[in-house]
Structure 1
Amino acid sequence: MTTQSCKTALMAAGLTLALAAPSFAETVLIYGEPGPNRGARAEATQWFADQVAEQSGGDLRLDINWGGALFSEKAAVQSLRDGVADLGSVIGVYFPQDMVAYGIADLPMNNPDPWVGMKATDDLMRNNESIKANLAAQNLVYVGTYTTSAVQMGCKGPAVKTVDDIAGKKVRGVGAYGQTFRDMGANLVDMSVYEAYQGLESGLIDCTQTYSYLVAALKFDEVFDSYTFIDWGQIGALGIMMNKSMFDALTPEEQEVIMTAGEGLADEFGRIIGQANDESIKILEDKGKEIVRFSDEDRAKLTEAGQKYLDEWAGRADAAGLDGQALLQEYQDLIAKYAAEKDEQGYPWERG
């Protein structure tokens, strides 16, 4: 056999082997994240990505684009619908109509525990057929949820010790919580939580609606003189949505991996956010800041004052083809269910 014949034979054999070899195709899903790659939520998002890879045996992988590289927080829903990313983070407050169902998790009701709130929200969004249909009509699938944890208040100057102390204060507040503060006499100031440090330092605001983990993240301990545990509700319409066309293109096994990892997010983020909250409060205590806790009576007054915003939400839900009052009842029942589970069994990460 000539040298050229040998080369030809070897090439043919190699081609035959290559064609006969099994093909292991990895599916890479593009994830859009408006926020930076740091902090509690970023840690949980990376955990979700790692779970998807692990549970799929490496067949699925998430390519996370951090810091709004693909879309801003205010363009997330349209971007996910259009397939700019396969899945990504959505902040419901920016989409009051599109995310009207998810907005139930932002309402000012007696829902202070982060894990309980996330489990109730996840259960509702994952299992309610009318909500699934509402999202499907937008080419979206719900995957998993986060939360800010309970709404609290930090102040420079005199502390807010009761609901009566809110009157006359210049307060940064958002959503139905901020509107309720305004209804109770606060002068509501429109600014982002990231501007609150400067606002407090300059005297533009006296107090800011906040969440405990942000004390460390935004160095609020440098400007807060007091911290009031309102322990009211939370901003919980913050989670992962997926483009439905892409979701439907996955195998049933791959779909299950995505949804299972998403369902586990509430437990993992509950653990992370609880630890972050504790660390922030310790910083305030170590610096001798005044720590105040609202009484049950004051919380009841806030809940009563916020009721009209629940009614307004129910009206918008009805207009979107949902049964607003029925969803509110189901959500409150789920909060009670998971609160009872926590009281009886503790948090999942404490159960051994």
Structure 2
Amino acid sequence: MTFTTTTPRGARRAVLGVALVGALALGACSSGGGGSAAGDDAIELTLATSAIAGTPNAAAQDWFLDAVEEATDGSVTFDRTAPESICTAAEIVECLRDGRADVGVTIPDYTPQYFPTVSVVGIPFVGQNSAAITASLYDLHTQDEQAVALMERNGLHYVSAWPVGRLLLGTDAPVESIADLQGISARASGPVVQQVLSDAGMSITAVTASESYEAVERGVIDGVGGAIDFAVNYRIMELLPYWTDPGIGQYSTFGMWFSADAWERLSAEQQEAVTAVEEEFNEGAAVEAFNDQAATQCDAMLEATTVDDLTAWSEDATEEWIDQVGDSAREAWTTVAADFGLEDPDSLLDAYEASLDEHAELEYVDATSSCVEAFATR
């Protein structure tokens, strides 16, 4: 299975858009007309997001919003508020639950009590293929009884969760092995990743992405664990010269949801059109949009005079860490997931890993790994 199909991108959305327009036109005719160009079902939904402009996560978000507006012929539109202007990154899910926003985009790990089914991505060294992870999480949240029930309890309609990129460590001195992690104070998100880094000797502080620059600048922390956009879009490469990929892989996600109330306000035809966009998004479009934007981040790092190097650990160094972690990360996730309300975390983990195997053939070129190669040959 690959990203490429014989159907041109957007064709399915176009067909659904035509069908939706027809349904709305018939409704207008039966009521004597007089509706707006988008039909009497036209609705504007308020977006609350923490994805800042220019990041790969914003590119993925905007692809979905644009595709929904196209597929519904404008009967569903979005008030695209500025990042964190309505709610901070850690509050966005609460904004959906209390009605301040209709659609939310943020990092689920900031409110892990609502998303133990998504935090499975945080088990280190398990997930490397971002496309397979995105598709597998969609499978879980549309097919697995526990995951579906959890979203219903949260008052959310699941759209997607896509990995934020491979975990990089940004520091003020080179880090090449577990031994070099001792005593470094850093931020990281995700309960399991935080535990793994702590067990390796790091002191972890729960700081959000947008707070990280100030935390490093003021000396609250002296390093970061995060994706490549921490270096570029959050400008931390101005402060930390050394960046390395220790081999943990994909470790966290950005998520997108409708509030249950907003979803129910959509007509049946609109829901059908949005669901088709969701499927396309999770089958590859999200990661493709993400990677297209992520490729530009490498150029920024290569050109930055403040960045001394971007490297990857040797296979032996990563294997040493894998051996040290053993099964403890899986056990930590099952404990956390149970604490946050999953009745049978083991069965959900089995379903996730089975889905990863099913989607393992999805084509995927990692922009961060490509950037490491570019630094090696510059």
Q: In the alignment, which residue of structure 1 is the partner of 2:292?
A: 275
Of residues 363, 375, 378, the one that matches 1:342 is: 363
- The answer for the alignment partner of 1:232 in structure 2 is 248
**Structure 2 equivalent of residue 155 of structure 1:** 171
CA distance in 2, matches of 1:200, 1:295: 27
Which secondary structure state, in structure 2, belongs to the residue aligned with residue 108 of structure 1?
Answer: coil
What's 1:21 paired with? 33
Equivalent of residue 295 in structure 1, options 292, 311, 314: 314
| Residue identity matched to 1:56 | T
Deviations 1:185-223 (A, max 9, x none): 223345444444455556554432121133221233333
Pick from 153, 169, 185: which aligns with 2:184? 169
Query: Gaps spanning 5+ residues in structure 2: where?
Result: 1-28, 367-378
Answer yes or no: is 1:32 the counterpart of 2:47.
yes
One-letter code aligned to 2:312: R
Secondary structure at 1:241 match in 2: strand
Aligned pair count? 328
Give 1:33 shift.
Answer: 1.6
Cα shift at 1:235:
4.1
Alpha-carbon distance in 2 for matches of 1:227, 1:57 = 44
Task: Sort the Cα spacing of 1:212 and 1:36 in 2 relative to 1 into closer, same or farther, 3 A.
Answer: closer
* Amino acid corresponding to residue 179 of structure 2 in structure 1: D
Tell me the amino acid that sits aligned with residue 171 of structure 1. A
Once residues 337 and 214 of structure 1 are traced to their aligned partners in structure 2, the CA distance between those partners, rounded to angstroms, is: 31
Please report how far the alpha carbon of residue 115 of structure 1 lies from its aligned counterpart in structure 2 after TM superposition.
2.6
1:253 to 240, 259, 269: 269
Name the structure 1 match of 2:153.
Answer: 137
Classify 1:86/1:195 alpha carbon distance in 2 versus 1 (closer, same or farther; 3 Å). closer
Q: Report the CA distance shift for 1:106/1:206 in structure 2 as closer, same or farther (over 3 A).
A: same
Letter in structure 2 aligned against 1:53? E
Equivalent-residue separation in structure 1 for 2:74 and 2:211 (angstroms):
41
CA displacement at 1:259 relative to structure 2: 2.1
Q: What aligned pairs does 1:103-252 form with structure 2 within 5 A after superposition?
A: 103-157=119-173, 159-175=174-190, 176-200=192-216, 205-252=221-268
* More deviation, 274-283/251-260: 274-283
TM-score by length of 1: 0.80
Q: Name the CA distance, whole Å, in 1 between partners of 2:195 and 2:234.
A: 24
Q: Does 1:313 align with 2:333?
A: yes
Structure 2 residue matching 1:331: 3-state secondary structure: helix
Q: Which amino acid aligns with 2:287?
A: G
5+ long unaligned stretches in structure 1? 1-16, 348-352
C-alpha separation in 2, matches of 1:171 and 1:342: 33
Shift of 1:149: 0.9
Whether the 8 Å contact between 1:118 and 1:236 is mirrored in structure 2 is: no
- Measure, in 2, the Cα distance between the counterparts of 1:28 and 1:306: 50
Work out which of the two has the higher radius of gyration on C-alpha atoms and give 1 or 2: 1
Q: Structure 1 residue 269: deviation in Å? A: 3.3
Q: TM-score, normalised by structure 2?
A: 0.75
1:33 is paired with a residue of what secondary structure? strand
Find the aligned partners of 1:254 and 1:150 in 2 and give their Cα distance: 35
Q: How far apart are residue 90 of structure 1 and its match? A: 4.2
Q: Which residue of 2 aligns with 1:13?
A: none
Identity among equivalent positions (%) equals: 20
Residues 232, 301 of structure 2: 8 Å contact kept: no
Report the counterpart of residue 84 of structure 2 in structure 1.
Answer: 68
Is residue 324 from structure 1 mapped to residue 336 from structure 2 by the alignment? no
Q: State whether residues 187 and 221 of structure 2, in contact with CA within 8 Å, keep that contact through their aligned partners in structure 1.
A: yes
Residue by residue, what CA displacement relative to the aligned partner does 1:14-63 show, whole Å, maximum 9, x if unpaired? xxx9x833532142242332326512323332221211111112222222
CA distance in 2 between partners of 1:170 and 1:338 (Å): 36
CA 212–37 in structure 1, closer or farther in 2 if over 3 Å, else same? closer
Cα separation, partners in 2 of 1:192 and 1:22, compared to 1, 3 Å: closer
Question: In 2, Cα distance between the equivalents of 1:283 and 1:62?
Answer: 31
Contact 2:125 2:247 in 1 (8 A): no
Q: Where does residue 350 of structure 1 map in the other structure?
A: none
